[in-house]
Amino acid sequence: MIAKIEVDIPTCIGCGTCWVACPDAFREVEVGEEYKAAATGRLAPEKALRNAAEGCPSLSISLIDDSGAVLYPTEAQREELRKRLQW
Ligand code: SF4
């Protein structure tokens, strides 16, 4: 069960997918001259959170359970993204 979400602001590209798809859990914040995503501190239905996280092109959204374990993305998924970005 998802207990917490975190957004890695440095890797967020500000595409807006998460805050449009799930405004209960994500919001837009101005960071310098860019817009990035941030967690609102509220949760949403698990399916909506998963859809938002899985739709993030930079894997910047972490879904965390109540024990602190990261449910998504896995380290293998992060490694795959790192490999894809090294072209
Ligand atoms: S979907 Fe990902 S990259 Fe796009 S705004 Fe949200 S956290 Fe940033």
Pocket test for ligand 1, best of 5, 11, 18, 59 (most atoms within 8 A of CB): 18
pTM: 0.93
- Closest residue by CA, ligand 1 atom 8: 12
In the predicted model, is pLDDT for residue 87 greater than 80?
no
How far, CA to CA in Å, does 74 sit from each of 16, 40, 49, 71?
22, 23, 15, 7
The residue extents of the domains of the chain are 2-85
pLDDT single digits (tens) 26-79: 999 999 999 999 999 999 999 999 999 999 999 999 999 999 999 999 999 999
CATH architecture of residue range(s) 2-85:
2-Layer Sandwich (3.30)
What confidence tier does 5 reach under pLDDT thresholds 50, 70, 90?
Answer: very high
State how far the Cα of 22 lies from the Cα of 31, in Å rounded to an integer.
20
The answer, yes or no, to whether any atom of ligand 1 lies below 6 A from the CB of 7, is yes
How confident is the model at residue 86, as a pLDDT?
Answer: 87
